[in-house]
Structure 1
Amino acid sequence: MSSSTEQHGVDEEFEHQPVPLSHRHSLSSVAAVWFGFPMIITNAVFGGVIAYNLGFVRALIAISIGNAILLAYVGTLSFIAGNTGRNFALMAERTFGKKGYVITSGFLATVVVGWYAFQTGLTGTTVHASFGWNETATIVGATLLFTAVTYMGIRALSIVGMIAAPMYVILAVVALVMIGADHPLSSVLTYDGAGAASVMSFGGAVTLVVATFADSGTMTADFTRWARDGRNAVYATLTAFPFANMIAQLVGMVIVCAGAAAAPATSGGDFMPVLTSHGGALSVIALVFVFVNLGSVCTHCLYNGAVGWGRIAKRRMRTMTIALGLLGGVVAVAGVWSLFLNWLNLLGVFVPPIGAVIIVDQLMIRHYAVDEDVPNFRGTAFLAWACGAVVAICVHEMAPWFPEAVAGMLSGGLTYFALSQKSKRVVRREDGTANT
């Protein structure tokens, strides 16, 4: 049997080694994985919430800045992944250490499983509210479906993306046409937002945009390691940030700014009620859309978690998919969505510095392609991560006008660079090779 095929007849996922060049995928295949990921109802909700708080023009600037940050951040990590074929855990191992990576990789792999559980629970809630189906039974069915799709591996995620993205665009356009019949879309550009009732700063809005993909964006290597090279990996990322992500957010912004949102402060630009209120064939299509759309998020997050924990536990991705998929389903039934805002705050503060440290380490300090001994723990990397998180927390409390995610990235990366330079000078003095 081919070395690229496991005993059950599906492709090897390379959890414990870089993807060989002979097994890389085309640009369209890798791009489909990322392009279909942000095309979700959740992004319409977030886009609408931001517009409600800031008004259309300021919201547009905020999501543009947030997406530019994501492109630079995720694109750089993808460039490294495409050139090396390493997944996130393997990349983290080189920066944080042969044992230290367990902390960062395990943390992120757990966070994305939490998102998987939340979105699975949201599937049940949405279907129950729109169609009256039993919520618990729907969650159980969604758990089994999403776990089965993820089990098939990266190619299944590509197929899901090819379906989810066009479906989102088509149904979003249908919803906007329906809304335009009753609400003047010409007023969108002049919408000023909630004014004094606003609870979100401009910096908070940028952080929200970054935070929604801080986890899987940091773990982008799990997807883009399949690209033929670093350049193709960046191109694949570009389809998501800014294009797919901004399209999804703009839909929600237009709905809120047109005055068509039922609860703009909390549900933003959710357009599902528009589709389901007309009944008939459109409702059936909307039902399929819920499973495809939220299923795209769930399968991507579960894949990230399974690859990460597979590396840590020295197990196959598919073994961990079953275990984590079912565990997440149990958590979803328990009502994890009550912790939603806590997840976002956690992501905005603690996750971005991890990726920044990896970028500085593997692009500026030690080249990602260099074959060298890796220590069990690299203390400077952890210290820089902690510094980035502390600075982000301080910015959140004392300067909410500035994006805390950006503060965490910059401070974490700069701290690691400074510590690494100091370490090099110490080594040189000890070796007598330099007198600095």
Structure 2
Amino acid sequence: MTHDVGQQPDRPADLGEEYEHEPVPIEARRSLSSIAAVWFGFPMNLGNAVFGGVIVYNLGFVNGMIALLLGNLVLFGYVGALSYIAGKTGRSFSLQALATFGTTGRLIATGFLATVVIGWFSFQIGLTGTTMHDALGWSPMLAAAIGALIYTGLTTIGIRALSWLGMIATPLFVILGGIALYYGATGNNLAVGDVVGYEGSGTTLTFGAAVGIVIAGFADSGTMTADFTRWSKSGKSAVAATFTAFPVSNFVAYALGGLVVAVGGSTDPATNGGGFLGLLTGHSALLTAVAVFFVFANLGSVASHCLYNGAVGWSGITKLTMRPVAVALGVLGAAIALTGVWSYFLDWLNILGIFVPPIGAILIVDQLVLKRSVATVTRLRASAFTAWVIGAGLATVSHYLVPGSVDALVGIVVAAAVFWTYEKALGRAATSESRTAPAQATPAVTA
């Protein structure tokens, strides 16, 4: 059922329909360039540059780049498959979860992810505060509060704002990142061979853990990709839009941070990784002003995407529209950020890498491999939750007992295998039962 926007007093007509509770109709779908801008503008952020630098600092340039590439290829396969389903059906993550996990099960799966993603929103608010403090001496609380207001306001505009942000933030990141590399390398007298030959510190981060960090970085919003790619005109268009993010945009963001470290541009690579904002300040008032705008545009793009995921998810659960939910979650996320909880970032990544990817794996097997019909929705599908628990459980075991393993990949493979096996066993049991049931008399048909 579609709605006439002009008949909804609670939704300003000029902001448009967000289709929180129904598939996006074909006539409302958006161009490939628009959806690509939504996705490629998301990963190209300062946070990824920080962690790209940390990975290269620990593994060296060549091994670090290989880890970044492998993590992005896994993300493309994972997010691309979920995006294909979304583009083909027009359904949000919440509606996808309804078909696979059931009416009650959807509340659990969607509620979990829509809540966890607000942690990312809070992280970007906190990062705004500390970044502005470290670079320009701003009050971190004031900068964080300003960021929270801007990011929440942008989210309420809807999918269009995410596309606009991507078109602004991405070229800014590439241009300013290039300038930062120049300043970072100035005076170090490095040849190309010196950069490629950078060996890193050889510390405790393993190759598998580095790949896992890349996957976990987008485990949540990647699983909820349907909230963005349901606006695509087709499944193939949704996959193409996803490709611009993974591996392209996400790899560039991580790799740029790695290059900052390899050229000697980071003063504390173990902690700050490839964060390059400090390299842009102190040269001229103009460049500093552009850097300030860049912080809010770049981190605002990430924060708004995360808040949009959370708002669409909780809208599906509460039956409210997206915009008031976004405001409420924005206030909640800001409160969390201002308490400083957002700083437990590595613990957050561990949670995401273990508990989130099995959900997406189950959706892919159910709706892309087994081709689940929406008409077969149940209250709670035991096979889906069994696979989720086992997948997350073995990923947890792998994390603690198998050093160097890629926890997210373990969860994906195990959950997919368990769910497929469970569903096939149910199908065989149903077939066997129908064959052994006593024959029923066929009623006579009269004219």
Q: Which TM-score bucket, shorter chain as reference?
A: over 0.9
Share of identical aligned residues, percent?
50
Cα distance change on mapping 1:397 and 1:2 into 2, 3 Å: closer
Cα distance change on mapping 1:411 and 1:92 into 2, 3 Å: same
User: Structure 1 CA distance, aligned partners of 2:396 and 2:117?
Assistant: 21
Query: Which among 291, 299, 303 is matched to residue 298 of structure 1?
Result: 303
Question: Aligned AA for 2:414?
Answer: S
Query: Which among 386, 394, 397 is matched to residue 397 of structure 2?
Result: 394
CA deviation string 1:234-277 (max 9, x = no partner) = 00000000110111111111111122211111111110110013
1:193: how far off?
Answer: 1.2
Do the aligned partners of 1:185 and 1:254 also contact (CA within 8 Å) in 2? no
Question: Aligned AA for 1:21?
Answer: I
Query: Which among 64, 74, 77 is matched to residue 69 of structure 2?
Result: 64
1:133: how far off?
Answer: 1.9
1:353-432 counterparts in 2 under 5 A? Answer: 353-365=358-370, 367-368=371-372, 370-432=373-435
Do the aligned partners of 2:184 and 2:264 also contact (CA within 8 Å) in 1? no
Correspondence 1:3 to 2:4: yes
Cα distance change on mapping 1:406 and 1:356 into 2, 3 Å: same
Residue aligning to 2:210:
205
1:433: how far off?
Answer: 7.6
Do the aligned partners of 2:183 and 2:265 also contact (CA within 8 Å) in 1? no
Residue aligning to 1:288:
293
Moved over 6 A (4+): none
Residue aligning to 2:241:
236
1:134: how far off?
Answer: 2.0
CA deviation string 1:278-312 (max 9, x = no partner) = 24211111000000000011000000000000111
SS in 2 for 1:99: helix
Higher alpha-carbon deviation: 420-429 or 399-408: 399-408
Structure 1 or 2, whichever has the larger Rg, is 2
Do the aligned partners of 1:185 and 1:258 also contact (CA within 8 Å) in 2? no
Higher alpha-carbon deviation: 328-337 or 76-85: 328-337
Do the aligned partners of 1:68 and 1:242 also contact (CA within 8 Å) in 2? yes
Residue aligning to 1:343:
348
Question: Aligned AA for 1:179?
Answer: G
User: Structure 1 CA distance, aligned partners of 2:44 and 2:83?
Assistant: 20
Correspondence 1:13 to 2:18: yes
Correspondence 1:92 to 2:97: yes
1:79: how far off?
Answer: 0.1
Question: Aligned AA for 1:223?
Answer: F
Do the aligned partners of 2:185 and 2:265 also contact (CA within 8 Å) in 1? no
Residue aligning to 2:185:
180
Question: Aligned AA for 1:260?
Answer: G
Higher alpha-carbon deviation: 185-194 or 295-304: 185-194
SS in 2 for 1:372: helix
Aligned residues: 430
Do the aligned partners of 2:60 and 2:199 also contact (CA within 8 Å) in 1? yes
Correspondence 1:121 to 2:122: no
User: Structure 1 CA distance, aligned partners of 2:191 and 2:388?
Assistant: 45
User: Structure 2 CA distance, aligned partners of 1:119 and 1:145?
Assistant: 12
User: Structure 1 CA distance, aligned partners of 2:376 and 2:63?
Assistant: 49
User: Structure 2 CA distance, aligned partners of 1:62 and 1:249?
Assistant: 10
User: Structure 1 CA distance, aligned partners of 2:243 and 2:88?
Assistant: 17
Residue aligning to 1:191:
198
CA deviation string 1:403-435 (max 9, x = no partner) = 11111100000000000111111111111189x
User: Structure 2 CA distance, aligned partners of 1:147 and 1:433?
Assistant: 59
Question: Aligned AA for 2:408?
Answer: A
1:4: how far off?
Answer: 4.2
SS in 2 for 1:122: helix
Correspondence 1:261 to 2:266: yes
User: Structure 2 CA distance, aligned partners of 1:138 and 1:253?
Assistant: 27
Query: Which among 211, 225, 230 is matched to residue 230 of structure 2?
Result: 225
CA deviation string 1:184-223 (max 9, x = no partner) = 252110011112xx11111100000000000000000000
User: Structure 2 CA distance, aligned partners of 1:270 and 1:148?
Assistant: 26
User: Structure 2 CA distance, aligned partners of 1:140 and 1:194?
Assistant: 37
Correspondence 1:103 to 2:108: yes
Residue aligning to 2:444:
none
CA RMSD of aligned residues (A): 1.4
User: Structure 2 CA distance, aligned partners of 1:245 and 1:271?
Assistant: 16
1:135: how far off?
Answer: 1.9
Higher alpha-carbon deviation: 131-140 or 374-383: 131-140
Cα distance change on mapping 1:374 and 1:261 into 2, 3 Å: same
